[in-house]
Structures are given as C-alpha cells and as structure tokens.
Amino acid sequence: MGIQRPKGTQDLLPGTVEQWQYLEETIRSVCREFGYDEIRTPMFEATELFQRGVGQTTDIVQKEMYTFLDKGDRSMTLRPEMTASVCRAYVEDKLFGQPQPVKLYYMGPMFRYERPQSGRFRQFHQFGVEVLGAEQPLVDAEVISLVWNLFQRLGLSGLEVHVNSVGCPICRAKHREQLQEFLATRRNELCKDCQDRYERNPLRILDCKNPSCQTLTAGAPTTKDTLCEECSTHFERVLALLGVAGVAYRVNPRLVRGLDYYTKTAFEVMVEEIGAQSAICGGGRYDKLVEEIGGSPTPGIGFAMGIERVLTALQVQNKLPEEKPRLFAMLIALGEKAQNEGFALLSALRTQGISVSMDLQGRNLKAQLKAANRQGAHYALILGEEELEKNVILIRDLTLGEQSEIPLVDAVEEINKNYQRGV
Ligand code: ATP
Ligand code: MG
C-alpha cells in the first residue's frame, strides 16, 4: 500500500460532497435570514491563544492540540475550535468599533488529536456562530433559536436541546464550594480524571461520562441552587423567550462549562440515534473570554456544531436529498470537425448556465451514448459528419427516446428553450 491519508481524516469524494454542499447551503441561508455575516480566520494561531481562550484545564488544551514549532521557533497550533480565533479577530480587527452586537458565523475544519472512532475525527468540521457585544437574554434566545431553526429546516427530529445557566464567577464560586463539600467524602471513588478535577475544575466532574462518577454525583448540588439574583433573572428571561420562539428545550441543571470565562447560559443539542457521540452542538455565553485574551470586557455567546455528526443524523433519519442534480445534456461529437463545432456550442450553452458535457477521448457513438445515460443526461446532442454537412444537430430526448433535427444556428436558442421549460 502506498502513502495513506493521516489517521482520523477523510477524503470526501463526489457523491458525498454533494451532501456537504447541501448542508452548507442550508446553513448559509439560515444565517443570512438571521442576519449573521461570515468570518474566516487562519487555520493555525499562536498556541497561547488556545491556552488562554479554550482553557489550560480542558481536555483540548491538555491532550488534543496539534502544536508545532514553526521555522522561527514560534509555537503554533492548528485550531481545535474557532471561538478563541473569532474573539482575537474582534479585538485585533477592531470589530468593537462597528455597531454592536457583531453577529458572525463560520464554517471550516478543526483539528484535535483524539482517538479516532465513529463520530470522532482528527480533522473534523464545525459550523458555529458568535455574537459579541451584547449581554441581553434576547441574544441567547436568538442564538439557540437559530440552531433550532436550522434543524427544523433540515427536517431532523428527536433532538434534545438541553439548557442551563452556569451563573457568573460570584455564584459559581459558591457552587464550586458546595460541590467540593459534597464530594469530599467520595473523592477517592471518583475516576482518575475526576480526582484531578476535584481541585482544578470540580464543575467538570458533573460532566464526566464515566457511569460510576455519574452515580456518585447524582444528588450533587447543581448550579440552579446557587444562581445569584441577576443570573437567575437572566436565565428565566432566556427560557421565556425560547418558549416564545417555539424551541422545545429541557433545563438540565447538570450541564456545565467548567471554565471561569463561561457565564450564564450553556446549552447542548443531542441526537440519540447517531450513537455514543450523540452531541451535535454545544455552546453558551462567555462574558469573560474577550478580556481573557487581552481585549476590553465584552460579552459574547456562541455555539459550535459538528458537521460530520449532523450529516450522520441526516443519513440515519433519511433526510438527505436524493441524488446529485442531473446533467442537462451530453454533446456527442464524432470526428475532429464535429468536435470543433461542438466545442464552440458547448461553450455557448455553458455561458447560458446550462450544464453540458462532452466526450473528451474521441470514443464512438455507442460508447458516448452509454456515458450520457450513465451521467443521467436528459438530452444527447448528436453531431456527426452527416449532420455537419447539412448544418444541423440531432437532439435526442434520452428518457422518451424521441429525437428531432434542428439547424445548427438555432441550437443554442432551441436547447435553451427546452432548458427553461424544465424537464
Ligand atoms: P465531545 O464531548 O463529543 O468530545 P466536545 O465537548 O469536545 O464534544 P465541542 O468542543 O463543544 O465538543 O465542539 C462542538 C461540536 O463539535 C461537538 O458537539 C461535536 O458535534 C463536534 N466535535 C467535537 N470534537 C469532534 C471530533 N473529534 N470529531 C467530530 N466532531 C467533533
Ligand atoms: Mg471533546
């Protein structure tokens, strides 16, 4: 076997790419309707950006980053996510000078050094949204309802939208204390990772996927018990607005984002049917993040959605468009002179936006007709020596088997008429 693609990466071939394009186009139109603009940032950034913007204590920074020294001995990292990059751009490109809030979306590859398995890749793709510069509950509700709207548009069902509030640094400190107190006597029974988390980041213990940790924390104090007045009012308003927008959500008091710069609203969307990696989207508010990476205090909220996992859900639920659009016509030119004429015709038709192909290898009529059928062409446009002599072209309807002969000079107009009429 020759050189293979790196572990945990994929080649997306024709046949599959059309599914990606369909999803990407649907995403773009929903974002347009919600008034979000696209942002594109570099595929790699200074490592420090992610250490600060994702957080030192996270799995991503501790274990999953593709970090390397460039030729100038600078530590660089292939982006594992894009929120930190968008916040950096907000500060560096002075987006705070524009009317606030700034509503952005992105799509693109992310890189994490993880153990590849179903639904988990080393290069995967995310669609995400970030709104910077507003803290009102309306923003939280808009962002969540954008996700909801997209999934409705895609026809996905069985989604679980979990929502919670993790509060502000003040109420979280109280929660942290209560949690540590609750877990103090059970500390040794926690998994190894959670024993580490006990001091560093006890909130994350609530999020542990290990069943025995889940049992141990079953009755643990949740964020709900410690929210301060302001955070609690904010949360109630977000929930009320989600109700207004028709989002079917569930409050999940165990849903946490463990870092100090995550504040208030946190949410996640799950689809059970796609297997163990059932989270297709995660997000929340991060009112302290822009400050963390060196900007002025700026509230922000966003989410990231795993494109591969959404595609799996669409596949499982049979919600992907049937097939790729068919070729409108196949031009069959026999002989060099016919190829010249045909090549010119092809170009004129393509200028009109009509999809046409021709045989590029000088094959015989039978082989070319076979190729036309294989590509699902509606028409074959046949140009042989005989037709050239008479200055005509044969138009054969490949579905009905009917054919007609038209003057070559009228070909573009006639074919265009058929095209406009639809097939
Ligand atoms: P998980 O718990 O599955 O590891 P996460 O908390 O690391 O997810 P986020 O960082 O919140 O995920 O990223 C948002 C979304 O990106 C996830 O909900 C998931 O759909 C997708 N995602 C994350 N990591 C991967 C990966 N390695 N391969 C494919 N999709 C991924
Ligand atoms: Mg992960």
- Of the bound ligands, which one is closest to the alpha carbon of residue 83? 1
Determine how β-strand 123-132 pairs with β-strand 75-78: unpaired
Ligand 1 centroid to Cα of residue 81, in Å, is: 9
| Residue 167 CB neighbours (<10 A) | 25
Count of residues in the chain: 423
User: What is the value of pTM for the model shown?
Assistant: 0.92
Q: Which helix (H) or strand (E) holds 337?
A: helix 336-351
Question: Which of the pair, 208 or 155, is modelled with greater confidence?
Answer: 155
- Cα distance between residue 53 and residue 32, in whole Å: 27
* Mutational pocket test of ligand 1: of 106, 120, 272, 314, the residue with most ligand atoms within 8 Å of the beta carbon: 120
Burial class of residue 163 in the structure, from the number of CB atoms within 10 Å of its CB (0-12 exposed, 13-18 middle, 19+ buried): buried
- Cα distance between residue 300 and residue 187, in whole Å: 34
Q: What is the pLDDT of residue 203?
A: 87
Ligand 1 centroid to Cα of residue 256, in Å, is: 15
285 and 140 in contact (C-beta within 8 Å)? yes
* Mutational pocket test of ligand 1: of 10, 274, 301, 309, the residue with most ligand atoms within 8 Å of the beta carbon: 309
Asked whether the predicted pLDDT for residue 423 surpasses 70, the reply is: no
Identify residue 162 by its one-letter amino acid code.
H
- The 10s digit of each residue's pLDDT in 41-67 is 999 999 999 999 999 888 899 999 999
Q: What is the pLDDT of residue 57?
A: 83
List all residues 6 or more positions away from 117 whose beta carbon is below 8 Å from its beta carbon. 276, 277
Domains and CATH numbers, the chain: 17-168+228-316 (3.30.930.10), 329-415 (3.40.50.800)
Distances (CA, A) of 353 to 162, 339, 356, 419, 420: 45, 21, 9, 10, 11
- The 10s digit of each residue's pLDDT in 249-292 is 999 998 988 777 899 999 999 998 888 888 999 999 999 999 99
Is residue 125 very low, low, confident or very high in pLDDT (cuts 50, 70, 90)?
very high
List all residues 6 or more positions away from 248 whose beta carbon is below 8 Å from its beta carbon. 148, 159, 161
Name the E strands within 153-262.
Answer: 159-165, 249-251
3 state SS of 300:
strand
> Average model confidence (pLDDT) for the chain?
94
* Encoded tokens for 192: 């190894």
- The 10s digit of each residue's pLDDT in 204-259 is 898 888 899 989 898 899 888 899 999 999 999 999 999 999 999 999 998 988 77
List all residues 6 or more positions away from 322 whose beta carbon is below 8 Å from its beta carbon. none
Atom 19 in ligand 1: which residue has the minimum CA distance?
Answer: 306
Q: What is the pLDDT of residue 1?
A: 77
- Of the bound ligands, which one is closest to the alpha carbon of residue 114? 1
Q: What is the pLDDT of residue 272?
A: 84
- The 10s digit of each residue's pLDDT in 132-153 is 999 999 999 999 999 999 999 9
**pLDDT > 70: percent of the chain:** 99
